Amino acid sequence: MNSAGVMWPDHAVLVRTPATSANLGPGFDALGLALALHDEVRVQVIESGLRIKVSGVGEATAGYGEDHLVVRAMRAAFDALGNQPPGLSLSCQNAIPHGFGLGSSAAAIVAGLLAARALCGESGTARLPDEAVLQLATDIEGHADNVAACLSGGLTIAWSAGSVRCLRLDPAAGLTPVLCVPAVPLATEAARKVLPASVPHADAARNAARAALLVAALTRQVTDAGLLLDATLDFLHQPYRADSMPGTAELVAELRKAGIPAVVSGSGPAVLALVVPGVTAEPEAVASIAADTGKDWSVRSLEVDREGAVVRPVASGSA
């Protein structure tokens, strides 16, 4: 029961959130793709205090207390819902790498918001509907591309029309994201600082065409490998970021030279190759090219996450 005398549901909730890759080349701050690589957060209301346990990626964040991103998101959601619980117990099982452009912060924010809403029982969704969750997640994250894909799954287009809006699309069957993660991360803030305040009109026009083509290429049955390669060419952000992540720029260039559609994942430094077995090169070719660069790349083939964030109640007990 909270200080206002409201009874909290006697259960814990589990939220599973996917990694995401934003931009996908020309879709800067608009396009996002959900990947089948997940964090899980289990949360329960307790009598008092704050307990955080983190396993997997980012174990040191267990000591962040109220500054932990999941907790910050939960506090924001509870404020929006009008009730703060007396205490919280969190258990985080993380698989999404931090600082590589794979939406780890979006996953944490979405997990916190959805967990808080679920813990408020049946009234939570009525008081904080999906549209409000997307807006609040964007306010915390600073941009909507990753949080939209994390919430909805699949391929998303996010934009602002007074409030943040999102359209979810189904990527074509057979699309296989191949993720290449280097050894050293890069802060999103650092990657954004190198971007210019304005770009040439011709580049903006060329990018608009490629972004439109990319949406079509990702949602139709791919039979032309060159179409997806053309569609992933960017003029707005990747060229400006190349000097700050030379290994990433090199791998993207080598993959594209081999005819493999490859982009910087989000703000980097991870690389995402979008392959369609039997049409483009096979996933194994990505690993071979990454190895040939002589850099330490961790390469894995994933599936597209088509569900987005999932919430379910679990047995009560300490989280």
What mean pLDDT is reported for the chain?
91
Distance of CA 273 to the CA centre of its chain: 16
Q: What is the pLDDT of residues 185-227, one digit of tens each?
A: 877 666 678 888 899 999 999 999 999 999 999 998 877 878 9
**Same-domain pairing of 107 and 253:** no
- Mean pLDDT confidence for 2-25: 80
**Same-domain pairing of 121 and 216:** no
- Mean pLDDT confidence for 152-161: 97
**The model's pTM:** 0.93
Q: What is the pLDDT of residues 41-56, one digit of tens each?
A: 999 999 999 999 999 9
**Same-domain pairing of 108 and 205:** no
CA angle (266 as vertex; 261, 269 as ends), nearest 5: 85
Confidence class for position 5, pLDDT limits 50, 70, 90: very low
Strand partners, 164: 160
Establish if 296 belongs to a structural domain. yes
Q: What is the pLDDT of residues 224-277, one digit of tens each?
A: 878 999 999 999 999 999 988 999 999 999 999 999 999 999 999 999 999 988
CATH number where 145 lies = 3.30.230.10
**Same-domain pairing of 227 and 142:** no
Residue type at 167? L
Establish if 319 belongs to a structural domain. no
Establish if 235 belongs to a structural domain. yes
Cα atoms in the 13 Å half-sphere on the side-chain side of 282: 3
**Same-domain pairing of 260 and 211:** yes
**Same-domain pairing of 82 and 126:** yes
**Same-domain pairing of 293 and 150:** no
What is the residue range of 234's domain? 176-301
Establish if 271 belongs to a structural domain. yes
**Same-domain pairing of 122 and 144:** yes
**Same-domain pairing of 288 and 150:** no
Dihedral of alpha carbons 135, 140, 145, 146, sign: negative
**Same-domain pairing of 152 and 182:** no
Report the SS3 class of residue 120: coil
CATH number where 293 lies = 3.30.70.890
Residue 3 has pLDDT above 70, yes or no: no
Residue 1 has pLDDT above 60, yes or no: no
Residue 39 is predicted with a pLDDT of: 98
- E strands in 269-317: 271-275, 298-301, 310-314
Structural domains counted in the chain: 2
Q: What is the pLDDT of residues 273-285, one digit of tens each?
A: 999 888 888 899 9
Establish if 124 belongs to a structural domain. yes
**Same-domain pairing of 258 and 161:** no
User: No. of H helices and E strands in the chain?
Assistant: 11, 11
**Same-domain pairing of 160 and 273:** no
Residue 189 is predicted with a pLDDT of: 67
Residue 278 is predicted with a pLDDT of: 83
